[in-house]
Structure 1
Amino acid sequence: MKNFKTLLLIAVFTLGVGGVANAQKMGHIDFEKLVAEMPQTKQLKLDIEKLGKTYQDEIEGMAKKLDTKMKKYTAEQAAQTEEINKMRAQEVQQENARYEQLRQTAYQEMQKKQASGLQPIIEKAQKAIDEVAASKSILYVLDASVGKGLLVSKGEDLFAAVKTKLGF
């Protein structure tokens, strides 16, 4: 009788633990795809392209002026004194340095704008995922976009529900 109670207790405990393990639902979502499809991301991309075009026009204009000046100075080099040629060479070097500085600044500004623009978008997506997972009693959500390494996707795909939550 005592053995029977012990076996019954072990069986109940084992089934109870198994039931708890089954209650831990899992889901997955392609986070990169979600963020890429968000309207805010598309708008950010357009803004960055517009900024890039502005910088590109400015950089190309500066490059043309520098090229024109270098051709003029090269053509006039034989007719000028050595002192004037040295001054002109120094002037071209300074303008070339400003050109390179503008290119670096443009790149850095575009990177900064992208990073600062993406941060609130990522936070919004993460919040929506958290809310959808909580509403569906999902404890673990895997990112299916990480190396596309999701081998088994028996959990629930939250992509459509999160898109609906975000309103797109």
Structure 2
Amino acid sequence: MRKLINVFFVAAALMLTANIANAQQKFGHLNSDDLYDAMPEAKTAQATLETLAKTRQTEIEKMVSEYQTKLKAAQDKEKVAQEKQRNISEANRDVITKELDVLAKELQAAGQDLQDFQKRIEDAKAKADKDLRDKQSELFPAVSKKLSTAIAAVAKEKGIAYVFDLSAQQGFNNILYADGGEDLTAAVKTKLGISTTASTPAKKN
């Protein structure tokens, strides 16, 4: 999820800062992880997403538990049928045959029920994934827009044309070494109204 939000605001910030009118060719850098971890909006969005994920996971686990109960019942019934089959004799053949016919129909119905239930579980998992993606798309664009706007504002104020992200969590860092340039992380925090001396990191994925 961190990678996705970084995609949103890093690309936008680079485009905005690269096109600042009359800006000198000055370079700056920041740490998007530090900024993201400090944003209350990001923490709230993350908490909301995690709550939804836990809710969906609980629902799926309940379905899986019910499926396992149904499966065990079917397996037990199959064992009964096998035992009756082993104990069939001339004396009880008619009775056992009728009982086996009943069990066979019950097992057939149970098998279909299990198959249907398994599909319901797969559908629930797919829906949970979609719900999480939809909720993420609902929550995080506003966070990324606020952050990218702050980055662009700071870059403009300082006359910086290009801003690079030194975040190690991105997985696609656009710069591997920095010696010089201005670190804008603290300035962007100030622009966002976040204290630069203390912050509680948001839980990372």
Q: Confirm whether residue 154 of structure 1 aligns to residue 180 of structure 2.
A: yes
- State the SS of the aligned residue for 2:161: strand
Which structure 2 residues correspond to residues 118-157 of structure 1 after superposition, within 5 A?
118-145=140-167, 146-147=172-173, 149-157=175-183
Q: Residue 69 of structure 1 aligns with which residue?
A: 70
Q: How high is the TM-score relative to the length of structure 2? A: 0.66
Equivalent residue number for residue 102 of structure 1: 124
How far is 1:148 from its partner?
7.1
Q: Which runs of 5+ in 2 are unaligned?
A: 1-23, 82-99, 195-205
1:111 corresponds in structure 2 to 133
Contact 2:164 2:175 in 1 (8 A): no
Q: Partners in 2 of 1:30 and 1:24 — Cα distance?
A: 20
Asked if 1:50 corresponds to 2:72, the answer is: no
The equivalent residue for 2:41 is 40
CA distance in 2, matches of 1:110, 1:63: 20
Structure 1: state its 5+ residue gaps.
1-22
* Superposed displacement of residue 156, structure 1: 0.7
Tell me whether 140-149 or 83-92 shows the greater mean CA deviation.
Answer: 140-149
- Distance of 1:129 and 1:44 partners within structure 2: 20
| CA shift for structure 1 position 91 | 0.8
SS in 2 for 1:141: strand
1: CA distance between counterparts of 2:57 and 2:178? 46
| Percent identity (aligned) | 36
Question: Which whole-Å CA distance do the structure 2 matches of 1:29 and 1:48 have between them?
Answer: 26
Q: Number of paired residues?
A: 147
* CA distance in structure 1 between the partners assigned to 2:189 and 2:153 by the alignment: 12
Aligned partners of 2:122, 2:178: CA distance in 1, in Å? 50
Q: Over aligned residue pairs, what C-alpha RMSD do you find?
A: 2.0
Rg comparison, structure with higher value: 1
For residues 180 and 135 of structure 2, what CA distance do their matches in structure 1 show?
38
Match of 2:27 in 1: 26
Q: Can you list the C-alpha shifts for 1:47-89, whole angstroms capped at 9, x where unaligned?
A: 1111111111111111111111111122123154322221210
> Which residue does the alignment assign to 2:18?
none
